[in-house]
Chains A and B, each alone.
Chain A
């Protein structure tokens, strides 16, 4: 398709999806790279990634006019791979939130059904791939911000091992949990996209040398004899007090997927994990991520960049900027973060949360000695209706809805692929593996994908 038509398609999608903060009117290829499998491919990038001379808002009023003067490392790598940047995608403000409804430019809608959410925070990126506006998109993932919207939009979302992709230029939410992730319509395509942007970076000390890793090639390897496990407490309907039809369906589809795995020659076993530990995951995530978020976003004062607040002294000016700059959800996270870090509360909340983090990561590492990966449903069902959202969207602390944070706690590679529909809305399964074993996870996901009909699927009405 001609680039002009792609731009037109992007503009046309805005009324329905609202997936772009910025559409580039005349997208250009910076480098023609004939050796790259992505040469000439159009990409969309989440709006919390620094793009030189292109508005980068993090979907926040605090940065509504911010035009960076430098590129994130992955932006340069995408240019080197010959891709063409189509635009910056709508997200939950500053990466916080899980619904796609908290952007300063409004709600992102699910291409499969516009009355439903996409999940977040990489909402626009997921929606655009599902709606076939782009084949490739970049997101970021702190709790499950790539893998949950991928599930709800029926696409593939991959969050590799911590440090495989440089975070230089990613607006931080919670640095110890933040990852850059990739969206596409097939596992092979996320592998190609991830291969293009991974690598050690002198500007990010947490990156590591991955020159020996080739995810694209890994898809072709044999999968027979690999071992997966799932967590009994999350997959056994009898462990739930509230057994909705949606949940039953989700678990039924999950069982079918497990059978397909076995047909591929993958061994799948059930493992039991202390429910108290599982229940502590989300509160611990909230403590750690909010604590880091309040610190990471302390640079948003309106003094150096962002709209200048009003006031008669510097404190009033900063206060005014921050009062007007953030939605209530973000403010709530900052208050929580500040609270759990206070001298008197730190041990009870922040340090206990770190202990929970260590316990689950140790447990997972122990299991990864025996298994290649963990396989689980991504949610209790399909995407929620926008009008049914509770105004405080941190209330849903269901374990099945929040387990993907395990991969952020441990920096584990983790991928979501579509595995069916409930009420015509897509759902997904998630596979998580051990650190630096990204090739294995891509390989397993690729083979499971091949047993189902959802590879390269496009949302109904967007073909």
Chain B
């Protein structure tokens, strides 16, 4: 019996705004606990929520990017439960009427396009963060009330690869639209994963298991893989009834999922409309304005790179994968760097460097302007491509401008005709045997002579000139 997974995702992402969703406290990631707090964020009696319009605007951007329907009115509900990270005892969220419903998103999996269906996307508020220690826990209310968008997919995903591709595409859109920094390291993205297994071809879904608080994309991948195997093993060994509808959590240390609570213990959140937030009309005109303000999304950019700059499918795909990389590329174009040259530098040298050094693109020392200095010198023939790379790495490692190295002695290409002729003639003199063979038709020996010139000049000879001069001189012999 071949078993087939069905996966649904809930992706939470903190939105970038000046202030929190319902209070005037700052919305910023801060290492000092408990400094971004207004009375509402700690639920002091009598504090009231006041909706942040910018958070709504950004939510509508996402709803539009996901091709969702947007309701006529903005309504917020209370989700009631007790937990120390939830000071009000309820979370303000959207249960009855999310900001976007019935959407879709195209994602690329192994070069093929797939569509993920969106159940809804809704605006809510984040909880405080808890730090658990051996005999106590600490609460940081900086995060309490930070605007949070939750996107819920339909159970339409059938592989961990698609699940991760969806999350990566979403993260990209968040970044491209500037709705969020979508930084997993800062905990700005958190996921819940629903997995069930059923025989291939069966139109009935298996029992759904929810995995909560999966906080990196690799953990999403691993937890789905783990659940697929766990559930499949139980089904195949005839213990299908041991799969119960429950909530589990992903344990990073053991790379397993662990039961949190079963359906019998499921919380009744007692949703009702929050009376402190009056229904607000969402004007069509505003939606139109927002629609027009949405910048080019990653897949559109990719298509433009291919059609306008003749980049290969692969190169364009690599560049758009990270908005910071794509922005770097755009800046290069603004500086009139040849698109293909820029793409080569970025995809080979730069991405290689940041991967090797485990840094983010925005931490890269070398600006597009600095890169241009190097490329210009190479193009003018002042330095060889080998030298260009040397300057590139030196500049990055020592965090000094390329100019520091470019102007140094020995860092310029030998393009002086007489100097090169001198060297070439000496080599011809010392390699009479090879010259003879070359003249007898052994054409590939030409590269040997080029190599000798390079060896003699330690790679600084202008390669084009070298070739031209060699050709002429060998003919003369």
B45:A66 contact, CB within 8 angstroms: yes
Q: Please indicate the chain B residues that have their CB under 8 angstroms from the CB of A303 in the complex.
A: 84, 87, 139
B272:A350 contact, CB within 8 angstroms: yes
The answer to whether A249 has its CB under 8 Å from any CB of chain B is no
Q: Please indicate the chain A residues that have their CB under 8 angstroms from the CB of B274 in the complex.
A: 175
Q: Say which residue of B89, B137, B275, B276 sits within 8 Å of A299 (CB atoms).
A: B89
Q: Per-position contact with B for A139-177: 1 when CB-CB < 8 Å, else 0?
A: 000000000000000000000000000011111101110
B82:A204 contact, CB within 8 angstroms: no
* Minimal beta-carbon separation of A140 from chain B (angstroms): 11
Q: Which of B460-475 contact A (CB under 8 A)?
A: none
The answer to whether A304 has its CB under 8 Å from any CB of chain B is yes
Query: Chain A residue with minimal CB distance to B273?
Result: A176
A205:B45 contact, CB within 8 angstroms: no
B45:A58 contact, CB within 8 angstroms: yes
A175:B89 contact, CB within 8 angstroms: no
Q: Per-position contact with A for B5-49: 1 when CB-CB < 8 Å, else 0?
A: 000000000000000000000000000000000010011111111
Query: Chain B residue with minimal CB distance to A322?
Result: B82
Interface residue count on the B side (C-beta < 8 Å): 30
A343:B268 contact, CB within 8 angstroms: yes
* Minimal beta-carbon separation of A197 from chain B (angstroms): 15
Q: Please indicate the chain A residues that have their CB under 8 angstroms from the CB of B270 in the complex.
A: 291, 295, 338, 341-343, 346
A168:B46 contact, CB within 8 angstroms: yes
Complex formed: what's the CA distance from A66 to B88 in Å? 16
B278:A298 contact, CB within 8 angstroms: no
A49:B46 contact, CB within 8 angstroms: yes
A72:B46 contact, CB within 8 angstroms: yes
B49:A205 contact, CB within 8 angstroms: yes
Q: Per-position contact with A for B337-368: 1 when CB-CB < 8 Å, else 0?
A: 00000000000000000000000000000000
A70 with B44: in contact, given A295-B78, A298-B90, A304-B87 (CB under 8 Å)?
A: yes
Complex formed: what's the CA distance from A70 to B270 in Å? 31
Q: Which of A326-341 contact B (CB under 8 A)?
A: 338, 341
Complex formed: what's the CA distance from A174 to B273 in Å? 12
Q: Please indicate the chain A residues that have their CB under 8 angstroms from the CB of B275 in the complex.
A: 174-176, 206, 292
Interface centre among A174, A175, A298 (most CB of B within 10 A): A298
A295 with B276: in contact, given A169-B46, A202-B50, A305-B44 (CB under 8 Å)?
A: no
Query: Chain B residue with minimal CB distance to A341?
Result: B270
Q: Please indicate the chain A residues that have their CB under 8 angstroms from the CB of B268 in the complex.
A: 342-343
Q: Which of B164-216 contact A (CB under 8 A)?
A: none
* Minimal beta-carbon separation of B32 from chain A (angstroms): 19
Complex formed: what's the CA distance from A168 to B278 in Å? 15
The answer to whether A50 has its CB under 8 Å from any CB of chain B is yes
Q: Please indicate the chain A residues that have their CB under 8 angstroms from the CB of B80 in the complex.
A: 294-295, 298, 341
The answer to whether A318 has its CB under 8 Å from any CB of chain B is yes
* Minimal beta-carbon separation of A316 from chain B (angstroms): 12
Complex formed: what's the CA distance from A171 to B39 in Å? 12
Q: Please indicate the chain B residues that have their CB under 8 angstroms from the CB of A202 in the complex.
A: 50
Q: Please indicate the chain A residues that have their CB under 8 angstroms from the CB of B88 in the complex.
A: 298-299
The answer to whether B294 has its CB under 8 Å from any CB of chain A is no
Q: Say which residue of A56, A304, A346 sits within 8 Å of B43 (CB atoms).
A: A304
The answer to whether B277 has its CB under 8 Å from any CB of chain A is yes
Q: Please indicate the chain B residues that have their CB under 8 angstroms from the CB of A27 in the complex.
A: none
The answer to whether B51 has its CB under 8 Å from any CB of chain A is yes
Q: Per-position contact with B for A292-331: 1 when CB-CB < 8 Å, else 0?
A: 1011011111011100000000110010000000000000
Q: Please indicate the chain B residues that have their CB under 8 angstroms from the CB of A56 in the complex.
A: 45
* Minimal beta-carbon separation of B88 from chain A (angstroms): 5
Q: Please indicate the chain A residues that have their CB under 8 angstroms from the CB of B51 in the complex.
A: 205
B44:A68 contact, CB within 8 angstroms: yes
Interface centre among A176, A342, A350 (most CB of B within 10 A): A176
A168:B47 contact, CB within 8 angstroms: yes
The answer to whether A190 has its CB under 8 Å from any CB of chain B is no
The answer to whether A462 has its CB under 8 Å from any CB of chain B is no
Q: Per-position contact with B for A37-71: 1 when CB-CB < 8 Å, else 0?
A: 00000000000111000001010000100101110
The interface of chain B, by Cβ under 8 A from chain A, is 39, 42-51, 78, 80, 82, 84, 87-90, 137, 139, 268, 270-272, 274-278
Given contacts A291-B270, A299-B89, A303-B84, list 4 more A-B pairs with CB under 8 A. Answer: A56-B45, A174-B275, A295-B78, A298-B80
CB<8 Å pairs between A and B, sample of 15: A168-B46, A172-B45, A172-B46, A204-B48, A291-B272, A295-B78, A295-B80, A295-B89, A298-B80, A298-B88, A299-B88, A300-B45, A301-B89, A305-B44, A341-B80
Question: Closest 3 interchain pairs by CB?
Answer: A298-B89, A176-B275, A341-B270
